[in-house]
Amino acid sequence: MAQDGYDADVAVIGVGTMGSMACWQLAKRGVSVVGFEQFAPGHDRSGAGGESRLFRTAYLEGPQYVPLLLAAQEQWRNLESDVGRELLTLNGGLMIGQPDSEFLTSVMASIQSADLPHEILNYNEATKRYPQHRLHRDEIMIFDRQAGFIRPELSVALAADASESMGARILRRERVNSVEPDEQGVTVVTSNGVWRTRKVVIAAGAWSQRLCPKLTPTIRLQRLVMTWFPLRDPASYTPDRFPIFIRQTEAYDISGWPTLDSTSLKVAVNFGYDMVDDPDGLDRTVNDHLLDTIRKGVRELLPDAINEPMRIGAYMDGYTDDRDAIVGYTDDLPNTIAMYGFSGHGFKMAPAIGQAVADLVADGQTQLPIDHLDPNRLTQNRQPPKRLRTIAGESGR
Ligand SMILES: Cc1cc2nc3c(=O)[nH]c(=O)nc-3n(C[C@H](O)[C@H](O)[C@H](O)COP(=O)(O)OP(=O)(O)OC[C@H]3O[C@@H](n4cnc5c(N)ncnc54)[C@H](O)[C@@H]3O)c2cc1C
């Protein structure tokens, strides 16, 4: 228990994806932590909704992520062991495209950086093994063995629950109105009261900069849409027969998941999405123009799906200019660890990010490979690296 006039050692603002994992990792170490969530852990109104998230290690975003992803895999298993449920299912992942494309070249660079287990399937092998995909003659598949899917809402809810069992306080439906850090600690003003802690972790996702306008770098808020298409033959799309996939063609950048409801195939077409001006006003309707684009992609690439989505979901995430998140102590505010801007690909790393934050709180540093996520990197006059058009585009994967 915190003392000397502090209500807790650490306040975590936002018990969503990253906040729940930070609470779990901090509580596991015996740090006194209080988490504030404006809704309730496991809600589906921002970064974590929509049934499933991709887990991948043959990472098209670059080999710098591979050690962190392997650490995350271990932490997912630790969380599963603490909560007694499977959260990450490794049914493999297909990266589908032209062999000499920047996309597959990046995937191969990650594979080679850590000698990741994989298979390369040429057109004939790929169409034979995975006939669910209508391939173009110039496409191949790279099978990432250490890929699969995670259950997002359940993971967040169970991580928060586990943290409470380990002594954390999670305050639900308690919105933080202001965070005022100073050299001695942090004052957190909520809809219900005032708290004083030694440190604060800003894990408010799309709301982070609204809450703390001084935080840099700034993020753009992006709306991301997911669609579930009914299947004529769901048995061909179960996790054991249908790996998760990302496919980039000249026309499409599309991700997909096996059926988890024995009824539908979930796909996300990764472009054409809107900006979000106000995270409190996320528009969850999807217009016909965007739906037409998604339907067209599914009709051409996954012809067995009935071409009318039975379910549509809209969510959001914050994007940095270089598509790398912000994780660490920030020069902008004292006693403040920032973790936001996960740019559409943060979920898979969440328990390792929580571990890194717990290290930073307890030891002031972490051995986890998160240098590329340093909050101060863009303010130190470093230019964002050149990225692939497709990689830099709007996506959630
Ligand atoms: C549609 C979609 C698909 C994606 N697909 C993948 C994928 O396949 N694989 C992958 O790895 N990643 C994927 N991502 C990215 C990943 O899901 C996000 O990067 C991650 O969920 C962001 O986590 P977060 O903690 O920053 O935000 P959130 O999970 O949104 O958490 C922020 C929390 O803070 C709370 N909060 C905000 N303000 C306050 C306040 N003032 N007081 C109290 N609480 C507050 C919010 O209610 C929320 O619960 C996807 C994202 C989206 C949107």
Ligand 1 centroid, distance to 19 Cα (angstroms): 9
Domain with 211, as residue range(s), is: 8-48+153-217+321-392
Which has the closest alpha carbon to 21: 151, 160, 152, 207?
Answer: 160
Residue 120's CB is within 10 A of a number of other CB atoms, namely 15
Q: Do the domain assignments include residue 57?
A: no
Domain check: are 377 and 272 in the same one? no
- Could you say which of 319, 337, 370 is where a domain stops? 319
Domain check: are 161 and 13 in the same one? yes
- Could you say which of 268, 301, 319 is where a domain stops? 319
Q: Do the domain assignments include residue 34?
A: yes
Q: Do the domain assignments include residue 356?
A: yes
Domain check: are 99 and 204 in the same one? no
Domain check: are 125 and 165 in the same one? no
Domain check: are 245 and 167 in the same one? no
CATH number of the structural domain spanning residue 131: 3.30.9.10
Pocket of ligand 1 (CB under 6 A): 13-14, 16-19, 36-39, 46-48, 50, 53-54, 175-176, 203-207, 211, 224, 226, 315-317, 340, 342, 344-348, 396-397
Q: Return the best residue to mutate from 149, 284, 348, 397 for the ligand 1 pocket (most ligand atoms within 8 A of CB).
A: 397
Domain check: are 13 and 144 in the same one? no
**Residue bearing the CA closest to ligand 1, atom 27:** 205
Q: Do the domain assignments include residue 226?
A: yes
Domain check: are 248 and 117 in the same one? yes
Exposed/middle/buried for 20, CB within 10 Å: 0-12, 13-18, 19+? buried
CA–CA gap between residue 307 and residue 373 (Å, rounded): 40
Q: Do the domain assignments include residue 328?
A: yes
Structure tokens at 162: 């586990």
Domain check: are 310 and 386 in the same one? no
Question: 226, 310 in Cβ contact below 8 A?
Answer: no
Structure tokens at 100: 């000499």
Domain check: are 243 and 144 in the same one? yes
Instruction: Report the alpha-carbon angle 70-72-76, nearest 5.
Output: 120
- Could you say which of 319, 338, 367 is where a domain stops? 319
Q: Do the domain assignments include residue 397?
A: no
Domain check: are 332 and 211 in the same one? yes
Which has the closest alpha carbon to 354: 4, 23, 10?
Answer: 23
CA–CA gap between residue 82 and residue 78 (Å, rounded): 6
What is the number of structural domains in the chain? 2
CATH number of the structural domain spanning residue 385: 3.50.50.60
Q: What is the pLDDT along the chain (397 residues), one digit of tens a residue?
A: 577 899 999 999 999 999 999 999 999 999 999 999 999 999 999 999 999 999 999 999 999 999 999 999 999 999 999 999 999 999 999 999 999 999 999 999 999 999 999 999 999 999 999 999 999 999 999 999 999 999 999 999 999 999 999 999 999 999 999 999 999 999 999 999 999 999 999 999 999 999 999 999 999 999 999 999 999 999 999 999 999 999 998 888 999 999 999 999 999 988 767 899 999 999 999 999 889 999 999 999 999 999 999 999 999 999 999 999 999 999 999 999 999 999 999 999 999 999 999 999 999 999 999 999 999 987 655 554 444 444 445 678 9
Q: Do the domain assignments include residue 80?
A: no
Domain check: are 124 and 174 in the same one? no
In sign, the C-alpha dihedral spanning 259, 126, 61, 70 is: positive
Q: Do the domain assignments include residue 71?
A: no
Domain check: are 235 and 283 in the same one? yes
